Amino acid sequence: MFPTLFSPVTIRQLTLKNRAIMPAMGTKFPKDNQVTQQLIDFHIARVKGGSGLNMVEVTGVHAGSIPSHYLSLAEDRFLPGMRELTEAIHAHGGKAGVQLWQGSIAVAADPTSQVIVASDLPVSPEYTIPGASKELIVELIDCYKQAARRAVEANFDCVEIHLGHNYILHSFLSGGINRRTDEYGGSLENRARFPLAVIEAVRSAIPDTMPLFMRIDAHDDYLENGLTIEEVIQFVKWAKDCGVDVADVSRGNIMTSGLKYEVPPIDIPFAFNIDNAARIKEETGIITMGVGRVNYPDLAEEILAEGKVDLIGIGRAQLSDPDFLNKAQAGRLEDIVYCVGCNQGCYDACERADIPHITCLRNPAVGKERAYQLVPTNDAKKIVVAGGGMAGMEVSMTLQERGFDVTLCEASDRLGGQFLLAGMAPRKQEMREAAELKGKQIQRAGVNVRLDTPVTEALLKELRPEIVINAVGAQPLMPKIPGIEKEHVYNYVDILQNKPQLAGKTIVIGGGLVGLEVAETVAETGGDVTVIEMTDAVGKDLGSTRKITVMEQLYIDKVTTMTETTCIRITDEGVQVLKDGEERVLSCDHVVVAIGSQSRDFKAIEQYCEANGLPYYVIGDALQPRRALEATAEGAELARSIS
């Protein structure tokens, strides 16, 4: 299947077996800038899964400005680890590229890393980061050159220069960032001077036979005087003349709401940037790689077959399922575990200092590829799993694949739990489809699925399991607020699942993700919506990319938000709140409570298991309401620990 996607392509003297590239993605797997076994295992899994080229993640070139969880080619001491990585990729039939990078303001969160900027950048009334001196520019050019030399010595098959996303080269190229008045600022020719010098230096350091890729934004978003696509096209022409072979056309920046395009979440349309890449290809004649929410093999095939681009970046889809490409080529589309663009385990993890490395909501084995290899059981115990949400389905499928005899009992008439419900919110159909497909996958794996079957003592006596797993999930939390029992009061399930037409004014109590999605759902049916939140901000449980898209839509829908506002009473006329130490009444016709969830009561079954000596485990929201990321992770962990 998909003949264009799986056709070979030759760039200079490098032949790739297919057109699917795993683009460079930050993982936080490196330690002290060194390659780790964790990183090697991660790449081996994607090579085995069919990736045409693994572009190893952003790799620093300037020793003083590389956070410790990034790779480095700034010094020779990093060569042994890099060689080990390329040898592993090559040993399994893959090709390896490396992306050379200096992060500019992107490293500011790391106190040990020097922040280098194109021109003076005020960060407070008292302090301005000075723009790079001419001496530093010359130093950086040599840093890129020496890093490219080391990439060759480390046996990489190609090199990519990162020239997007507000990193240092993009910061010079963009008129929205570069305010220099010397020969490196002003006109496009001047702003391009440093990036082109880097390209020439890198090209001179690598063999003529080796391809040179360049990642570049199609244009700047929401940035005054930012790069236009016309300027980018001109720059790509110059870069091509300097020896760049492939334009890897991205989008997004970290200085504006354009961040949502850098790692586009579920809210962003599929293939949203491909037309930009196609225009760049048409007007420059360069080999072009398109990226951005190309999550399905048929979509990739269509784009390639139409000649819009020559290569496709498939990144998060290969996080979600390392065998994505092999399954696609074999026509096993219903076996693919598709990325849903949640960004919870990948980009959000990169942003948060308290999370050690990336993972994936759909694939808890990310970062644990070696430890999570399935070990068949020698004792096919009978196991009953109560609850068919993401935790229940994950633990059931993994246990069944290991050889256990698994029965999954779901009290409702469908699988998916809270994840299925989440997929009923605006722009999140992919989550609903993923939940439904997961249900089909676990049944094909051999799990005995019983719908409309709550787990009771009588059922356990009938099934006689040797292990019971509680994954019954959570239900809406309804606080003891006077008036909460009134007929015009709803919970979030009522709204997302049933989508009643709520005319007039609606107050949503709770400004987390669920509350905001409820607000949007009501607003899109014509309702006048106000969200009240007791803390100092709404959307605190959202990662940055999804928060941008959700808040933009709420603005479009004219939803009002009130923070530091506590509901103390619900009346027939409205909601009585405490705001700034004073009580006031917000008039409304409807109230929706969306302050969170509470674990379902399963105490009777727990006591039954204890009385009968049955091993009993609790996972997912049944243990503590959280995100689907934690639910699937706990299901995967438990399934591998049972012997």
The strand pair at 96-101 and 158-163 is best described as: parallel
Q: Which has the closest alpha carbon to 392: 463, 349, 450? A: 450
| Helix locations, 353-428, DSSP H | 390-402, 417-422
Known active-site residue 347 = no
Q: Residue 168: which H helix or E strand, with range? A: helix 168-173
Q: Which one of 70, 167, 184, 617 is the catalytic residue?
A: 167
Q: Which has the closest alpha carbon to 338: 356, 354, 322, 358? A: 322
Coil, helix or strand at residue 273: coil
In sequence order, which residues have a C-beta less than 8 Å from that of residue 600 and are 6 or more positions away? Answer: 472, 473, 474, 475, 622
Q: Which has the closest alpha carbon to 575: 508, 514, 526, 522? A: 508
Cβ(237)–Cβ(284) below 8 Å? yes
E-assigned strand segments in 279-411: 287-290, 311-313, 382-386, 405-409
Cβ(349)–Cβ(326) below 8 Å? no
Cβ(233)–Cβ(283) below 8 Å? yes
Q: Rounded distance, CA 569 to CA 537, Å?
A: 21
Record the tokens describing residue 403, joined without a space: 């050889």
**Type of residue at 407:** T
Chain centroid to CA 328: how far?
21
Query: Beta-carbon neighbour count of residue 607 at 10 Å?
Result: 12
Q: Rounded distance, CA 467 to CA 617, Å?
A: 8
Angle at 625 between CA 624 and CA 629, to 5 degrees: 105
**What residues are annotated to the active site?**
167
